[in-house]
Amino acid sequence: MSGTLAIIGGTGLTELPGLTISAAHDIQTPFGAPSAPVLEGELNGLRVLFIARHGHPHKIPPHQVNYRANLWALQKLYATDVIAVNAVGGISKNMKPGTLISPAQIIDYSFGRESTIFDGEFAPLSHIDFSFPYTETLRAELVRSAAKVDQKVINGGVYGVSQGPRLETAAEIFRMERDGCDIVGMTGMPEACLARELKLNFASLGLVVNSAAGKGASAITLKDIDDHLSAGMQRVRLILSQLVVDFYQS
């Protein structure tokens, strides 16, 4: 692929180890300040942009992330392709903690978030085709790169986006399951639709860190989530390191 790859780090990935930083860009956008400076540097000797979705240190709750500013800042620095890392809960039976997934679809249950640049002020009212919210070629590249480092990423599935910051009730999860959701998280939207509006290729790498409410044998604890985050993010970093190489060679 040609262009520049950007990575949005979520919970558990506020830094990108191995990134040799050449610049930290404090960009002011038409939508205010991004969550954190956009880091520009090299990973495996290749140019990468990185931004911590929740800030660094991790402090911004999902419903208060300035998604518009984050995506706009990445595009301003010439990003063409974006990988969003998401910590999620597992709904489907095969979505056990530790599972990696690149979802193909989204159902948005969030509300009240600034979700468009076509707001009549920054840009005139317009509409995007969002039938297929993720870029299939980028998702395929992600899955192939994972396989090269012996990591399995499930290709496909539906990401249900909840409001947060609280975790969901069991009834809400059962509803999402009936709707066809495989995973649940709090940050999948409006990132995906803003990327489409800004003409950025976009894919998600989801790490299942807990069984969703009512789906596990015991109550959800933050310790269990942190344990799965710690172990899983090592695998995520391995995949991203390989993806950078494959991205610029393809």
What's the pLDDT tens digit per position in 36-85? 999 999 888 889 999 999 987 778 999 999 999 999 999 999 999 999 99
- Does residue 47 form part of some domain? yes
What percent of the chain is modeled with pLDDT above 90? 76
Instruction: Provide Rg for the chain, Cα atoms.
Output: 17
Helix axes 222-249, 136-148, angle to 10 degrees: 100
- Does residue 219 form part of some domain? yes
**Domain interval for residue 37:** 5-116+129-249
- Does residue 124 form part of some domain? no
HEC string of the chain equals: CCCCEEEEECCCCCCCCCCEEEEEECCCECCECCCCCEEEEEECCEEEEEEECCCCCCCCCHHHCCHHHHHHHHHHCCCCEEEEEEEEEECCCCCCCCCEEECCEEEECCCCCCCCCCCCCCCCCCCCCCCCCCCHHHHHHHHHHHHHCCCCEEECCEEEECCCCCCCCHHHHHHHHHHCCCEEECCCCCHHHHHHHCCCEEEEEEEEEEECCCCCCCCCCHHHHHHHHHHHHHHHHHHHHHHHHHHHHC
The alpha carbon dihedral of 239, 77, 51, 123 has a sign of: negative
Determine the Cα–Cα distance for residues 146 and 166; give it in Å rounded to an integer. 31
- Does residue 233 form part of some domain? yes
- Does residue 123 form part of some domain? no
Q: What is the pLDDT of residue 162?
A: 98
Q: What is the pLDDT of residue 27?
A: 92
CB 190 within 8 A of CB 89: no
Residue identified by tokens 């692929």 is: 1
Average pLDDT of span 102-106: 98
Q: What is the pLDDT of residue 104?
A: 98
Residues in binding site: 11, 53-54, 186-187, 210-212
- Does residue 122 form part of some domain? no
C-alpha separations of 233 from 106, 160, 164, 230 in Å:
23, 21, 21, 6
Total residue length of the chain: 250
Structural domain count, the chain? 1
Residues in binding site for phosphate: 11, 53-54, 187
Examine the pLDDT at 89 and tell me if it is beyond 90.
Answer: yes
What residues form DSSP beta bridges with 47? 42
- Does residue 40 form part of some domain? yes
- Does residue 79 form part of some domain? yes
Residues in binding site for substrate: 186, 210-212
Average pLDDT of span 159-185: 97
Q: What is the pLDDT of residue 236?
A: 93
CATH number of the domain where residue 74 is located: 3.40.50.1580
Tokens for 70? 């984050």
Determine the residue type at 116.
Answer: T
Query: Residue 168's Cα: distance from chain center in Å?
Result: 19
